[in-house]
Amino acid sequence: MRDSEGSEGWVLHSLLSAGAPLWCAVEEDENFKIFAKASESSDLAATLQSGSSAYQVCDSGWCLIDGDGFKGYIKQSNLWGVYPGEKVE
C-alpha cells in the first residue's frame, strides 16, 4: 500500500476491507466542489477541504461520495486513493 505522503508498505490482505475510504487530494488549503449530479453544470451539493474522507463509487471520471453530512459527485482526478479512470463499485 502507499499512503498520501508516498510511503509504501505491506498490509496483510485479511486486514483490508471493501469500501475503504478515499481522501480528497491532499494539497493544503484547497477546497473541492461536490456536485448534485456528475456534471460541473449541476447544482453545488457541498464543498470539502483537503483531507476530507468519504466512501465512494467511481465510474466515467466521476465518483459518487458519501460522507458525514454530504453526498454528491466529485471529479475522480481530485481524489487520492483511486487511479484515473478506475472503476470502483
Q: What is the mean pLDDT of each run of 10 residues along the chain (89 residues)?
A: 68 62 59 91 88 75 83 85 74
What is the per-residue pLDDT for 9?
76
**From the CB of residue 76, how many other CB atoms can be counted at a distance below 10 Å?**
22
What is the per-residue pLDDT for 12?
74
What is the per-residue pLDDT for 18?
56
Sign of CA dihedral 68, 51, 55, 32: positive
Q: Which fold has domain 18-80?
A: SH3 type barrels. (2.30.30)
Residue 67 to residue 19: CA distance in whole angstroms: 12
What is the per-residue pLDDT for 79?
78
Instruction: Look at residue 70 and give its three-state secondary structure.
Output: strand
What is the per-residue pLDDT for 76?
85
